[in-house]
A and B are shown apart, each in its own frame.
Chain A
Amino acid sequence: MYCDYWKFHKPPFDNVPDPSMYVDCHVSMENVISETIFAIKEANECFAVIIGDIGLGKTLSLRIIIDSLEPKKYRVALITNPSIPFIQLLREIIGQITGKQCEEKTKVDLLEMFNQLLFQLINQGMKVVIFIDEANAISPANLENLRLLTNMQDDQSNLFTLVLAGQMELARRLEHPKRANLFQRIGTYGRIDKLPSEETVKTYIETRLKLAGSQTKIFSDESIGVIWEYSDGIPRLINKICKLCLKAGETNEFRIIAPEVATQVAERFQKLSNAALQKRKPRSRPDLESTEEEIEEIEDSQDISKTITSQETVTKVPTPAENLEDRSKVIGHQETPPEVPLYKIDVSTPSVDKTIDTRPKENEVEEYEEVLIGSHKIKLTIPKQIIKQAASSDRESATKLAGSFAAQIIKENPYLVNSPLVDPVSIWHEIKDVILKKLNST
């Protein structure tokens, strides 16, 4: 184990919640944690907000805060996917607070139950704290409902504290003038930032090494520069690179980590696809025997508004493991998919006639052009909103818009690029050019 080689008494860079390895130099995280705990325990605030991008320690901070709340004094609910309907959200919250399944069905009943629960717990000398992680995913309706929920407060004090933790998008939403009512109720508003400089990264690394029992300099100054460059100041990535460097050091019997080692380590994991996950599914029963009843043939109906292909992902139901994969993809790469409206196109080839419903939706059709892309004839219709957006954008933005739309078209019609002789990038480029021409001519 590399700890023995480097003479550590514990691993210095494990990416697991461990308050003892918590480093002073990550000032913003330290501040957020202490302010939020203060808001809950002392100031009895209604709302607390934690903003932080992926990998900066938001979830870790929440975990540290939750672990600091004495179970005898606080009942905690933690919601990790707040995009569910409000009724389900309330059921989840009540279920976690009471420790029992919540069977209430209506919003009115749930609110009533929640209200009673708050007063019961206050009388027992306890307080409710609701943590909502990934709060940037909350729908506007839920955000408003949560604000209204905080109206359930005593005349003298707040009966519960709501802690919202999310990415920068949450900050933008909360700071919008429309949310002024909610914003005014926020007691603490903390932001976890990246480590801002090479110097702070150096302090971070060296402090963690000391906490692990290191007595010597292990990372050269130049290697810290490399780590700063590749991690972009994100503690999770710093930990990962440093750990792998230490491992490489043990394998190669280095006494000090040179910049080339850090470069090699950092470049390696950037190239890889994500880890494979466990696919979980419920247990099905043995196949049932089918009856001999006559069922009339179903003809193709023009009323079918949605077709599901065997290759399409429309019917693919992501398992929670895949949700985790999405989360971990996001954690790993800090990427979010572009938002472009979906649109179907009619594609016909000489040999295969596949009809997709291209009936225009209301207010959507502007104009179309029949174009040849690869060996496919395409009737391309561009939604009004895209044309409008492109008209008010500069050339670069319009090009990006056209590119996103082109990618969407290919994704929805994978047979455009199915042939091994076809280069998908060229097809994408062709479609993008056509779209751009249309956008420029309108």
Chain B
Amino acid sequence: MKDSDKEFLDKKRPKQLYDVHLKDYELIIKHYQEIIDKDENFSDAYVNLGFIYLDTEDYDKAIKCFQKIVELEPENPEAYNNLGYVHEKMDMFDSAKKCYEKALKLNKNDIEAIINIGHILELQGDYHSALSQYQKAIKIDPKSLSARFCLAVLYDHHDMYDEALNEYTEIIQINPSHTKTLYNLGRIYFQFGNYADALKNFQHVLELDPENADAWNNLGSVYETTNKLTKALSAYNKSLAINPFHEETNVNLSNIQYLLYLSDPESIKIDDILRRLHFVLSLNPHNKKVQKLLDKIQKPSLPQPKNTKLNSAIDTLKENLGGALLATDIWGSADVQSVAAWNPQPAARTLFGKIINMTNQALKDSGFAILSKYYLFDLVDAKIMIVIPMGDFMWGMLIDGKKVQLELLLNIALPKAIAAFEDAITSN
């Protein structure tokens, strides 16, 4: 409802409830009809009345109002654009298109009409014609944000990322605070794996629009992918605080909670995760991501080697390294599920799992010498990360290099660990 209409109501009728009743619309309609009764050629009143009917979804009456305006202002392209808009609301796309074409006949540079036609063509699946329309609008007015944004979104919907990126970038140069563009740019950067720029854009969106649940979800996704799990959880929770029904966020949160559960079953109740997933299914029974995650949770995905031997291998390593061992995890290579651990580090599992898989593949493809037994990462602050890939599993160990002699580690502790690992894996 227009502000002036609300003001009118406030003057005439004290608000008793915060709700806007249908009676309020009746008041406004009566008000405009009285104006029209006094002057049947007062086109502004027809316009405003038409919008009220649009608001109340009384499209037949809305059409009559906008048709009247066309009669009163036959040379005004805006009248045809508005009439076309009503037809669009009624899903009469061809009739809408004809109205927009009439607007164009009156003014061949009417950007709004060109964009509106483009939109209808897009709805009809005519990508190339829609593209031409938007490009035509941009040629007429290169600074038109609407035209550029429509074009960018057309590209985006058809996964034409580079083209979309170019258009979104042009828009930001015109208006650096165009929230939707920043948001969509963030999405593209994220899909490109450019997490820094994705983060920057989503954060900027949230500065401008802190109640944007989608942006919080996407921010959470960036954090999750870059292993900042605490921040990811916080972002997802913020998204749900704004919109508790946000499907993607509920699924993402469930996913991350499940990973945490796997590394430390005491940290989270599996029932809470299942409950959330069933909640999403109650909103949308066809959500395949939920089905997939439920399947994963409810049935074991890997044949489990006897954990006793794996835990025993970990105990032996602890014995040999003493205080030098900071953390250790054994996990499945495919799904990063922990099968045995001491001081588990889920983020490290995910990170090093990815690194090892990519390195293994690169070595394999290169024709260079392949891996023998393990990878050793020399990290800052004298930390050593060793990862032993073996069959379907990986064993990672984080060691304090200041508390152990390297010779002892490489010649005694590590070979024993490898042998114990092999024994545990093969004895099934």
Contacts and interface: CB of A to CB of B under 8 A. Distances in A.
Interface of A: 1-2, 13-17, 59-60, 62-63, 77-78, 80-81, 83-84, 88, 91-92, 95-96, 100-102, 133, 220, 232, 239-240, 243-244, 247-248, 251, 255-256, 258-261, 264-265, 267-278, 280-288, 290-291, 293, 295, 297-298, 300-301, 304, 306-310, 315, 317, 319-321, 323-324, 327-328, 333-338, 400, 403-404, 406-407, 410-411, 417, 420, 424-426, 428-429, 432
A225 to B, nearest CB: 11
B175 to A, nearest CB: 14
Contact of A284 (B2, B18, B184): B2
13 contacts: A80-B123, A91-B92, A95-B95, A232-B288, A251-B192, A258-B365, A276-B183, A282-B85, A283-B112, A300-B17, A310-B19, A335-B287, A428-B282
A101 B100 CA distance: 12
B282 A400 contact: yes
Interface string B258-289: 00000000000000100110110111111111
Nearest to A261: B358
A199 to B, nearest CB: 21
Given A95-B95, A297-B13, A404-B282, A271 B248 contact: yes
Interface stretch (B216-224, B311-319, B398-406, B410-418): B216-224
Q: Please provide the 10 A-B residue pairs with the shortest distance between their CB atoms, ordered closest to farther.
A: A403-B282, A424-B244, A287-B4, A273-B214, A276-B180, A271-B221, A258-B361, A81-B91, A290-B8, A285-B44
A258 B153 contact: no
B191 A272 contact: yes
Contacts, number: 278
A134 B287 CA distance: 20
B158 A15 contact: yes
A60 B214 contact: no
Contact of A337 (B27, B30, B284): B284
Contacts of B146: 278
Contacts of B12: 290, 295
Interface in B41-95: 43-45, 47-48, 51, 54-57, 78, 81-82, 85-86, 88-95
A256 B31 CA distance: 70
Contacts of A83: 91
A309 B285 contact: no
Interface of B is mostly: helix
Which of B14, B43, B47, B218 is packed against the most chain A CB atoms within 10 Å?
B47
B252 A317 contact: no
B19 A275 contact: no
A243 B276 contact: no
B157 interface: yes
Contact of B157 (A95, A239, A275, A297): A275
Contacts of B275: 425-426, 429
B199 to A, nearest CB: 14
Contacts of B16: 300
Interface of B: 2-4, 7-8, 11-14, 16-23, 27, 30-32, 34-35, 43-45, 47-48, 51, 54-57, 78, 81-82, 85-86, 88-95, 98, 112, 115-116, 119, 122-128, 146, 149-150, 153, 156-162, 179-180, 183-184, 187, 190-193, 213-214, 217-218, 221, 224-225, 240-241, 244-246, 248-250, 252, 272, 275-276, 278-279, 281-289, 354, 357-358, 361-362, 365
A264 B153 contact: no
Nearest to B217: A273
Given A95-B94, A335-B286, A432-B282, A271 B224 contact: yes
A308 B358 contact: no
Nearest to B240: A424
Given A60-B125, A291-B34, A420-B241, A240 B284 contact: no
A298 B27 contact: yes
Contacts of A284: 2, 47-48, 51
Contacts of A323: 123
A92 B55 contact: no
Nearest to B193: A248
